[in-house]
Chains A and B, each alone.
Chain A
Amino acid sequence: MAANEELLQDVVIKFAGDSGDGMQLTGQQFTNNTALLGIDLATFPDFPAEIRAPIGTLPGVSGFQLHFSSNRVYTPGDIADVLVAMNAAALKVNLKSIKPGGKIIANIDGFDAKNLRLANYPEGINPLEDGSLDSYELIKIDVTKLTRESLKDFTDLGTKERDRAKNMFVLGFIYWMYNRSLENTIEFLKEKFGKKETILQSNIKVLQAGYNYGDTTETFTTRFRVEKAKMNAGTYRSIMGNQALAYGLIAASEKSNLPLFLGSYPITPASDILHELSRHKSFGVRTFQAEDEIAAITSAIGASYGGLFGVTTTSGPGMALKAEAMGLAVMLEIPLLIINVQRGGPSTGLPTKTEQSDLMQAYYGRNGECPMPIIASSTPSDCFDVAFEAVRIAVQHMTPVILLSDGFIANGAEPWKFPKADDLPNIEVAFKTGLAEGEDKFLPYLRDEKLARPWAIPGTAGLEHRIGGLEKQNITGNVNYEPENHQLMVNIRQEKVDRIAQYIPEQKLDSGPEKGKVLVIGWGSTYGAIKSAVLELQAEGHAVSHAHIRYVRPFPKNLGELMQQFDKVLIPEINNGQLIKIIRDQYLIDAQGYHKIMGVPITKQELVDVITKML
């Protein structure tokens, strides 16, 4: 039976199930399939902190949200048009984020008495039966039963193994619904199960069964299609934030001819950077899983001291442990990159949830006057550029740099028009190779116009010298406790960071008029939500603009002037107001904040409402 086809512009779909149901994989497969068609997209995986929370319970729900569109996409979407709920808990957790009239595809088997009880539904209540979902389009499928049936010929597979393919049934069905080809997923399965023929064939069988189910039953009389988005011409791929950070580091290593050394201790949500980099030994990348966060950063300091590029990756709690070593790097004035993929805090906080609450820590969280440049990534693909730029700043200005990302960007994916290696700029690195003519003694703290000191690495004859964490005498680098010298050195270290403003681009508006009513300033992962909200209001004719700050310390030198052109400034953040304090402090402007700190991104609609009130 040939169903009609309906053209849609914009779809938000959420796959939700128990953390053992394979929803992340299902979502990723559908994402890749969507991306390959040139449709624009953004994703938001949302999983529990526990590796295996009790099956069927509310804390065990794992979700994957995908927003795809023939228009440009900047966020994973505020609410879902379609929810796939593999069990009762998945429905309960996500019910409030489905559009009125939206579709709910429910796996009947996941709503049996046991699952309903685990999801805390009152005795005898089944939302699939009691009419409570009447305002939605409810599609009930017995996924478990149909999966088992389609595998009845696979006699050497046990029930458990058969049931594991459930997610393929759902994926096949969704592929049918959106009129897609199964090819990329079949290829993926071949690669994944290459040698396990039975498992491979059973998965393909179930995938096709799901597709055929859509075809043969009359679940929908229409199938849906979303066309290619109008994106800039070029070759694209899909990229996730942590992966882009790793690639940015490798690219910077290649372009600077500095081998990369990563010292890292596993921590959510940063570990994937360690995993990714450890796979790229062919680029000479050295990855060192240290015994703790402190050894992770100090081993990286050792590497940079030796003339490699030292990086350490972590999240908030790890940042706290690294603070003293960051101070050492500031004193030593050597290149180093500290990446903080922020998560909910304080303490262990919300390990798998997103937050922007470590900005103050990055700015001020060390003993002494200890300024460090800070750079923040705003989208998954932006992580590549930001990592590359962070390395450039670190080596050219001889300073440790902090890069802030967050859990939302780290695991989110988007299409990326990746650069060609030749188009990336070289990062010039000048090691000092010996005493210059007329120079009779090496002066390790003699500075250039950027106030950067020479990078003289062990193995260079004639430049033997000693550095350390005690206050340095200006120019000679010898230990010095004199009052005037300390004042001078504190000033120099500050000025050195401030001067970076002369070597970074000016702040540009992301969109909107150069003068107007409201300027929305953001940093980090709020980019998509702010952009979408501001574009919507601009389309309604409002004088609203958006500036997104990548260089958080020092700020671009025109930032103050840029803000002056607007009647009001709004700074939304996923924290209790951190950037806003710094901006108010530095520019004495009456900026207004919007703060939400619930472990989830700020939505477009919230911002539209807030900005509208300011107009």
Chain B
Amino acid sequence: MSTSTTITPITLTAKDFATDQEVRWCPGCGDYSILAQVQKIMPGIGVPKENIVIISGIGCSSRFPYYMNTYGMHSIHGRATAIASGLKASRPELSVWIVSGDGDSMSIGGNHTIHMLRRNFDVNLLVFNNQIYGLTKGQYSPTSEENKVTKSTPMGSIDHPFNPLALALGADATFIARSMDRDPKHLQMVLTRSHQHKGSSFVEIYQNCNIFNDGAFEVFTEKSTKADEALFLEHGKPLIFGVNQDKGIKIEGLRPVVVNLSDGVNADDLWIHDEHDFYKAQILTRMFDDTKTEGHFPRPFGVFYQTERACYEDVMAMQIDETIATKGRGNLDKLLRGKEVWEIA
């Protein structure tokens, strides 16, 4: 608490965004870190606490609003995106955050997710992807890898999984990014960027469910493998990875290839990340190989793509303003009277 006597605007800290509710995720769950990072960036985004709304669906992640001292709604399964759409259309000035999981946003709520993205409401959709159904105690999810043995798939799952960022890009999302629970700084950066983006932001966060799917992302998060398996994207910078920062991605024709910088390849010849390049973003989202396969690509993290497009709520408000500007504010008596009336004496 500040003891300074100078008059300064009230500055909030992460603590101001915590509630008195006991956090009920399993000890060790990746959700704790995501909550901490969201609470950390909130004081810095420049939005008064009362103008922040967090809407969630159903699932472990969807308990999130209870732990954030903002406005919040823990709604029903899959519908947070649709509720947020209605709220944002009605109150464009609010900062609306949607917290959802892989099942919530891509299985039961898949339809609302793609439609919200194409309409481009200015909201942030955080998808906590743990590739499993945690709250219902361990069934495979729409992002689980093929042949996954779970309670509902004793012989292995048959479904082919979604590639979340490719799905979001396919729905013409104007901002797509990936981060992970175990890299706080990176996650804070991505969350802040998501907030700064005007339009629908789709943020996939790899989140470890240590109870039902422990280690699903460990190749990307553990020190020993992270450098080789994770490729951190930075706008304007070449795609370089590896423990010794000696591997890079080059584009040959329409295909990415992994090259070795020690083989005399110049960093200038590498793929330079451009967040505004839609075509390259599509290739990036497709760098989604099974990490067990020979010669696989590293998995990209960071902001894949960002573009500007009119937001639904702004055009909706504009149509209303234009109508009132040209025709005047509606007159109820005129409306009720209509065009043709008759008198009865």
Q: Which chain A residues have a beta carbon within 8 Å of chain B's beta carbons?
A: 32, 35-38, 184, 228, 231-238, 247, 250-251, 254, 259, 261, 263, 280-286, 288, 290-292, 294-295, 298-303, 305-308, 310, 324-325, 327-328, 332, 418-421, 457-470, 478-479
The residues of A that contact B316 with a CB separation of less than 8 Å are 286, 288
Complexed CA–CA distance, A470 and B24 (Å): 14
Complexed CA–CA distance, A185 and B19 (Å): 67
Task: Pick the residue among A37, A235, A282, A325 that contacts B330 (CB under 8 A).
Answer: A282
Q: Which chain B residues have a beta carbon within 8 Å of chain A's beta carbons?
A: 19, 21, 48-53, 55, 58, 65-66, 68-76, 79, 82-91, 93-94, 111-112, 115, 316, 319-320, 323-324, 327-330, 332-333, 335-338, 340-345
Chain A at the B interface: SS class: mixed
A-B pairs with CB below 8 Å: how many?
A: 206
What would be 5 A-B contacts, judged by CB atoms less than 8 Å apart?
Answer: A37-B342, A233-B344, A234-B344, A235-B342, A236-B342
- What is the chain A residue whose CB lies nearest that of B313? A286
* Distance in Å: Cβ of A376 to nearest Cβ of chain B: 22
B79→A295 contact, CB < 8 A: yes
* Distance in Å: Cβ of A205 to nearest Cβ of chain B: 24
The residues of A that contact B66 with a CB separation of less than 8 Å are 466, 468, 479
A459→B91 contact, CB < 8 A: yes
- What is the chain A residue whose CB lies nearest that of B70? A464
* Distance in Å: Cβ of A563 to nearest Cβ of chain B: 36
A291→B112 contact, CB < 8 A: yes
Task: Pick the residue among B48, B89, B90 that contacts A307 (CB under 8 A).
Answer: B90
The residues of A that contact B333 with a CB separation of less than 8 Å are 420-421
A231→B338 contact, CB < 8 A: no
A288→B74 contact, CB < 8 A: no
User: A302 and B323 in contact (CB under 8 A), knowing A463-B50, A478-B21?
Assistant: no
* Distance in Å: Cβ of A288 to nearest Cβ of chain B: 6
Complexed CA–CA distance, A337 and B180 (Å): 41
User: A250 and B332 in contact (CB under 8 A), knowing A288-B86, A295-B85, A458-B71?
Assistant: yes
Task: Pick the residue among B75, B88, B330 that contacts A283 (CB under 8 A).
Answer: B330
A418→B82 contact, CB < 8 A: no
The residues of B that contact A286 with a CB separation of less than 8 Å are 89-90, 316, 320
The residues of B that contact A465 with a CB separation of less than 8 Å are 71-72
The residues of A that contact B91 with a CB separation of less than 8 Å are 306-308, 457-459
Complexed CA–CA distance, A295 and B118 (Å): 14
A303→B330 contact, CB < 8 A: no
B330→A280 contact, CB < 8 A: yes
The residues of B that contact A37 with a CB separation of less than 8 Å are 342
Complexed CA–CA distance, A497 and B121 (Å): 35
* Distance in Å: Cβ of B13 to nearest Cβ of chain A: 16
User: A281 and B319 in contact (CB under 8 A), knowing A237-B337, A298-B75, A303-B89?
Assistant: yes
Q: Which 9 A-B pairs have the closest CB atoms?
A: A302-B86, A468-B74, A299-B86, A302-B87, A283-B330, A282-B330, A295-B82, A421-B332, A466-B72
A250→B82 contact, CB < 8 A: no
A462→B86 contact, CB < 8 A: no
Complexed CA–CA distance, A463 and B335 (Å): 38
Q: Looking at A36, A261, A288, which has the most chain B CB atoms within 10 Å of its CB?
A: A288
Q: Looking at A306, A463, A470, which has the most chain B CB atoms within 10 Å of its CB?
A: A306
- What is the chain B residue whose CB lies nearest that of A465? B71
Task: Pick the residue among B69, B93, B342 that contacts A464 (CB under 8 A).
Answer: B69
* Distance in Å: Cβ of A35 to nearest Cβ of chain B: 7
The residues of B that contact A307 with a CB separation of less than 8 Å are 90-91
The residues of B that contact A463 with a CB separation of less than 8 Å are 50
User: A302 and B83 in contact (CB under 8 A), knowing A459-B50, A463-B50?
Assistant: yes
- What is the chain A residue whose CB lies nearest that of B114? A291
The residues of B that contact A36 with a CB separation of less than 8 Å are 340, 342
Complexed CA–CA distance, A421 and B81 (Å): 37
Task: Pick the residue among A38, A261, A301, A466 that contacts B89 (CB under 8 A).
Answer: A261
- What is the chain B residue whose CB lies nearest that of A469? B76
* Distance in Å: Cβ of A227 to nearest Cβ of chain B: 12
* Distance in Å: Cβ of A459 to nearest Cβ of chain B: 6
The residues of A that contact B344 with a CB separation of less than 8 Å are 38, 228, 231-236
